[in-house]
Amino acid sequence: MAQSPAADQEFLEYLVKSLVDHPEDVRVDRKVDEMGVLLSLHVNAVDMGQVVGRQGVTAKAIRSLLKIVGVKNNARVNLKIEEPEGSTRVPLQHGTGGDHGGGEQHNQPMPHGENE
């Protein structure tokens, strides 16, 4: 049975519409180039938390599933989650002394009784 060329796009739309509160606002743009397939996901600003999940776990799971769909269709599939208009997320500031890339923890004193 032959798969449609946009099976990855249809799968992503179905999956995300099942997760969010505003499925009518879900849109997936598909672009194919020499690097493979790029799916750009657009959702309602209210639904971003449901799509990304806590610490990005849901987004990672969606990407894993898309890679499986891509392997089945002999394509490299990548997902880009577009920042919705009206989003309240504060963008990360680069070079302001935050995380240094390695996920290292900064030594901060613990309140009394929590050192163990």
In a domain, 26, yes or no: yes
Per-residue pLDDT band for 85 (boundaries 50, 70, 90) equals confident
Question: Is-contact 43 51, C-beta < 8 A?
Answer: yes
What residue numbers bound the domain in which 35 lies?
7-81
**Secondary-structure breakdown of the chain: helix, strand, coil percentages, each rounded to the nearest 5:** 35, 15, 45
pTM above 0.85, yes or no: no
CA nearest to 8, candidates 39, 44, 49: 39
Kindly report the CA angle at 57 between 51 and 59, in degrees rounded to 5? Answer: 40
* 67, containing H or E segment: helix 57-72
Number of folded domains that form the chain: 1
Per-residue pLDDT band for 17 (boundaries 50, 70, 90) equals very high
Could you read off the pLDDT of 43-56 as tens digits, one per residue? 999 999 999 999 99
In a domain, 51, yes or no: yes
Domain CATH for 63:
3.30.300.20
